[in-house]
Amino acid sequence: MEIPLQTSPNGCPAFFENAMLLDLEGAGTGHDSHQTCPDMFDLLPDFDSGIVGNSLFGENFIPDLEQIVQNDFLLPVQENEHHLEREYLNSTKRRVYAFQRSFWWEGSQNTGNGDTRLVGSSELEPSVLSPHSIPSNLTFHEKLSSRLRDELFRLIVKTGDDTLSIPELPTVDHLDILIKIGLAKKVDINPWIHLYTFYSNSPRPELIAALVSTGCISCLTPTMNKTGIIMQEVVRVALRNLSEADIEVTRDLQYLQASMMWLEIGFSCGYRRNMRMTEGALQALGIALRRLGAFDSSSYKPINPCEISDDDASTLDYIWKQWIKQESFKRLVYYFFCHDIEVAAAMNQPPTTSFAELTLSLPAARDLWLAPTASTWKDIWTARYQPPRPEISLRDLLSDPTLLRDLPMHLDNRVASSALLHGLLGKAWDLRQQMLLGRRSASRQPARKLLLLQSRQEDLYTDLQQIRDALVDSPPLTTLMAEFSIMYLHIDIDALQRFAGKLGEDMARQSYPDLRDWSMTQDARIAVWHAGQVFRAVHRVGPYQLRGFDIFAIYYASLTLYVYGLLVCAQKKSTEAVETWKTEKSALVFLDGPSSRATESFVAHNRGQPVLTYIAGPDAEADRTFCSLQQPRLVMRVALQVLNSNFSKLSSLGPANNPIPPLVMNLRGLLHELANLP
């Protein structure tokens, strides 16, 4: 029999008022009670990444790059962290204060820029290179020419002004290394720039600059990271100038590729100004691709090299390059679509493209795309992909996800899996909005409408589970995306963040009743189970690979576990129930472990105690224990351990010199604040 909660006049339980909302006066947060419209980037750290007054390729750039070339993967050692568990005590005001000092705060804030100078090499540990280096199985037959380097510098001088200084020009070899690191970074899930014809296609200097920026940011030194961000600004201004001078340039493939690259860099760079600008510019790229007809299958013509004689090498080479151009557009469209969905999920906003408008075929198989020559391309096609098979689009996959199981061999399975996952995530976002409206008017909604929404949620849940199970051999980041998508389907991200303190104390109070009801449902248990599985997937991700949307996925998974723990703890304390759930060790359910009968019983019937793996000391094996979700601060320490595990070979060099990417540093800061609330 359930014990009714004792509530205060505003609908919150007595425990919530007394323990979660302590001392609302004089806490010294420096925060106005009036809130501005939510804006995720208000407290992102910033530096002046603009062109005016900055130094590009400064005095420390060349020594850092030379050390990267000479000392491949020279990594400092991380100091072990040992966190001592404290007795749980929390308050909304302290959570709000933690968000105020993080980049997730959405209250009113000044947007002034900070110090913009690049860090000197004498202040750095040895330069390091992330695993975004050039894989050994990729062979580049061409290199940057002096002419292309000169075009790049002319672009920089033309785009900048007299205050942009370039103390030392990188050599052709230095720039070539950065460009190839940037190209290699695109090979994992969806390689959308053709490696073997890049230089022969006379690339635009804007595209070269974008690749140099990507290469710089992939190198784990603050000097090169900031140089990459400044170069990204050069790309942004140069692309804007091009489109203003001639709008037809927006139909050019290389222009569109450079645009995609600077949008991707800006979204994950961790600096407020750049992230805001790229978020705003995302729609423009979607419009350009849509008006070009790149989303529609009618814009692409079938090409079959088997119809060309082996003796006609020039025609074969021409057809190959035509095929590469078509495939480049296909891969760019699908990459843009996935990026658009990720931005929408991270920012909790509508995507700029519809998952139903992509009727173009999925890209061709990877071995065809990575063929270094026209003759090799034809040989692979003839040996493996004859006769021609039917084409499949994302719309087809979303209509029938089971098509992924028997995907024709001539299509890129990784791109198909990624596109389908992102399409289902887009459907989940759409469904959550409809469920939100349905919940607000539940008393006036016909029962059949609510049942229809529940049925759609169950169908989508089944589809996502089947796709996840079919991707057991996929890259860990794909698994992470699958687990996040299932979690996303069962949570209200906006309500979770409001309750955690992101929009202040009043919003935290108002969000409590709905979240209290949610915490007692199967939806909540499904969400925390898959949040734990996000943590599990992170442990499989290669070192230093956490940089983009996956950081947001970790944040939302941490928040889901944290808020669920707060809510369950509040319910148990307010009812003074016997805490057998907390003490019954035989019923432990490890949310970050493999699926078992215990986990199924917890999700279906709320049986057992959900816990996370926790390393309580310096020895990862001997000090391995667990923490209950009823210890929310400890949950955040687990989240910190999960995040830090991907950077376990990096040491803390201080706030100015830490080589960990800025976006990661900001999430670490927020998790640390929440984990150490008094």
Mean pLDDT: which of 59-73, 292-306, 445-459, 498-512 is highest?
292-306
* Residue 487 tokens, joined: 């979690």
How many Cα atoms within 13 Å fall on the side-chain side of residue 485? 31
Omega cis (within 30) before 387: yes
The residue ranking higher by pLDDT, 273 or 578, is 273
492, with CB counted inside 10 A (0-12, 13-18, 19+), is buried
Q: Evaluate if residue 289 carries a pLDDT over 70.
A: yes
Contact 225, 231 (CB under 8 A): no
The residue ranking higher by pLDDT, 288 or 578, is 288
DSSP string covering 320-386, please?
HHHHHHHHHHHHHHHHHHHHHHHHHHHHTS--SS-TTS--SBPPBPHHHHT-SSHHHHHHHHHHHS-
Distance CA 284, CA 290 (A): 10
pLDDT tens, 228-248? 888 999 999 999 999 999 999
CA dihedral 437, 441, 445, 448 (to 10 degrees): 50
Confidence of residue 607 (pLDDT cuts 50, 70, 90): very high
Q: Evaluate if residue 652 carries a pLDDT over 60.
A: no
* Residue 101 tokens, joined: 């000092």
**Which pLDDT does position 429 carry in this prediction?**
95
Contact 501, 96 (CB under 8 A): yes
Q: Evaluate if residue 93 carries a pLDDT over 60.
A: no
**Which pLDDT does position 204 carry in this prediction?**
95
Contact 626, 613 (CB under 8 A): yes
- % of the chain exceeding 70 in pLDDT: 73
Confidence of residue 61 (pLDDT cuts 50, 70, 90): low
**Which pLDDT does position 538 carry in this prediction?**
95
The residue ranking higher by pLDDT, 113 or 310, is 310
Q: Which helix (H) or strand (E) segment is 473 a member of?
A: none
The residue ranking higher by pLDDT, 84 or 459, is 459
**Which pLDDT does position 68 carry in this prediction?**
58
Confidence of residue 164 (pLDDT cuts 50, 70, 90): confident
Low-confidence winner among 80-94, 294-308, 313-327 (lowest mean pLDDT): 80-94
Q: Evaluate if residue 136 carries a pLDDT over 90.
A: no
Contact 610, 591 (CB under 8 A): yes
Q: Evaluate if residue 578 carries a pLDDT over 70.
A: no
Average pLDDT score over residue span 408-427: 95
Using DSSP bridges, classify how beta strands 609-615 and 588-590 pair: parallel, antiparallel or unpaired.
parallel
**Which pLDDT does position 48 carry in this prediction?**
54
Q: Evaluate if residue 484 carries a pLDDT over 90.
A: yes
**Which pLDDT does position 141 carry in this prediction?**
72
What region, left, alpha or beta, does residue 46 occupy, with left being phi > 0 and alpha being psi -120 to 50 degrees?
A: beta
**Which pLDDT does position 70 carry in this prediction?**
54
Average pLDDT score over residue span 252-259: 97
Confidence of residue 123 (pLDDT cuts 50, 70, 90): very low
* Residue 676 tokens, joined: 């150490």
Confidence of residue 81 (pLDDT cuts 50, 70, 90): very low
* Residue 285 tokens, joined: 């790229």
- % of the chain exceeding 90 in pLDDT: 48
Distance CA 67, CA 614 (A): 37
**Which pLDDT does position 120 carry in this prediction?**
25
**Which pLDDT does position 151 carry in this prediction?**
94
Please tell me whether residue 407 adopts helix, strand or coil conformation: coil
Q: Which residues fall within 8 angstroms of residue 179, CB to CB, at 6 or more apart?
A: 144, 208, 211, 212, 215
Instruction: State the chain's mean pLDDT as an integer.
Output: 79
**Which pLDDT does position 32 carry in this prediction?**
39
Average pLDDT score over residue span 610-639: 86
**Which pLDDT does position 618 carry in this prediction?**
75
Confidence of residue 481 (pLDDT cuts 50, 70, 90): very high
pLDDT tens, 198-216? 998 889 999 999 999 998 8
Confidence of residue 351 (pLDDT cuts 50, 70, 90): very high
Average pLDDT score over residue span 623-645: 90
**Which pLDDT does position 78 carry in this prediction?**
32
How many Cα atoms within 13 Å fall on the side-chain side of residue 146? 0
Distance CA 211, CA 507 (A): 43
Contact 155, 238 (CB under 8 A): yes
Q: 644-656: b or e for each residue (b if 16 or more CB lie within 10 Å)?
A: bbbbeebbebeee
Confidence of residue 456 (pLDDT cuts 50, 70, 90): very high
- Give, as one character, the DSSP assignment of residue 265: H
Q: Which helix (H) or strand (E) segment is 427 a member of?
A: helix 413-440
Q: Rounded to 5 degrees, what angle do the CA atoms 122, 127, 131 make?
A: 165
Residue 613's beta-bridge partner residues? 626
Distance CA 352, CA 346 (A): 14
pLDDT tens, 352-381? 999 999 999 999 999 999 999 999 999 999
Mean pLDDT: which of 174-188, 477-491, 562-576, 634-648 is highest?
477-491
DSSP string covering 152-203, please?
HHHHHHHHS-TT-B-SSPPPHHHHHHHHHHHHHTTSSS---S-STTTGGG--
Helix 313-347 / helix 549-575 crossing angle, nearest 10 deg: 20
Using DSSP bridges, classify how beta strands 609-615 and 624-628 pair: parallel, antiparallel or unpaired.
antiparallel
**Which pLDDT does position 544 carry in this prediction?**
82
* Cα separations in angstroms, 394 against 291, 362, 409, 478: 19, 7, 16, 17
115, with CB counted inside 10 A (0-12, 13-18, 19+), is exposed
Average pLDDT score over residue span 67-79: 42
**Which pLDDT does position 253 carry in this prediction?**
97
Q: Evaluate if residue 34 carries a pLDDT over 70.
A: no
* Cα separations in angstroms, 406 against 327, 358, 389, 412, 645: 22, 20, 12, 12, 36
Q: 551-590: b or e for each residue (b if 16 or more CB lie within 10 Å)?
A: bbbbbbbbbbbbbbbbbbbbbbbbeeeeeebbeeeebebb
Task: Enumerate the domain spans of the chain.
Answer: 14-188+191-294+475-675
Distance CA 7, CA 516 (A): 12
Average pLDDT score over residue span 414-442: 89
Distance CA 390, CA 309 (A): 24
Q: Evaluate if residue 131 carries a pLDDT over 90.
A: no
pLDDT tens, 492-527? 999 998 888 877 888 888 889 999 999 999 999 999
* Cα separations in angstroms, 303 against 196, 307, 316, 320, 335: 19, 9, 11, 9, 22
Confidence of residue 440 (pLDDT cuts 50, 70, 90): low
Confidence of residue 226 (pLDDT cuts 50, 70, 90): confident
**Which pLDDT does position 468 carry in this prediction?**
93
The residue ranking higher by pLDDT, 86 or 354, is 354
